Amino acid sequence: MQRRPVAGRRRVDLEQEPARGPVAHGWPDQTWTLARIKTLVGRRFHKSMTLSAIAQMLHRHGFSHQAPARRAGERDEQAVTGWVKETWPQVEAARRRAEPSSPA
């Protein structure tokens, strides 16, 4: 049986820990940030790294920046389209001034 070098074991641990999710590590939501991963590295490996070093390390190990989808799964596209066509022009027109303002 071969023993993996310490750096290899750390890499495997680093890849497995985020898979458990932020909530498992004490954060209230499911969002990983560089700051949270920096804290995780500090807690788990007792090592301090800069945020740019964390980003570079994650990129080297195949992780990529992903932004969460900002649209709700329950979103009704037809209702949104109707609102944009019918209601929004009324709201936008109401805030426009009839005459251009003059600089004071």
The 10s digit of each residue's pLDDT in 23-78 is 888 888 888 889 999 999 898 888 899 999 989 988 887 887 776 666 777 888 89
**103: in domain:** no
Counting the structural domains of the chain, the total is 1
**76: in domain:** no
**82: in domain:** no
Q: Which range of residues forms the domain containing residue 47? A: 6-60
| Position 14 pLDDT exceeds 50 | yes
**78: in domain:** no
Q: Please tell me the distance from the alpha carbon of residue 64 to that of residue 69, in angstroms, as a whole number.
A: 15
Mean pLDDT over 89-97 rounds to 73
Report yes or no: 21 and 29 within 8 Å, Cβ to Cβ.
Answer: no
**74: in domain:** no
| Position 1 pLDDT exceeds 60 | no
**36: in domain:** yes
**81: in domain:** no
**Can you give the pLDDT at residue 4?**
47
Report yes or no: 36 and 27 within 8 Å, Cβ to Cβ.
Answer: yes
19 token code pair: 């898979």
**39: in domain:** yes
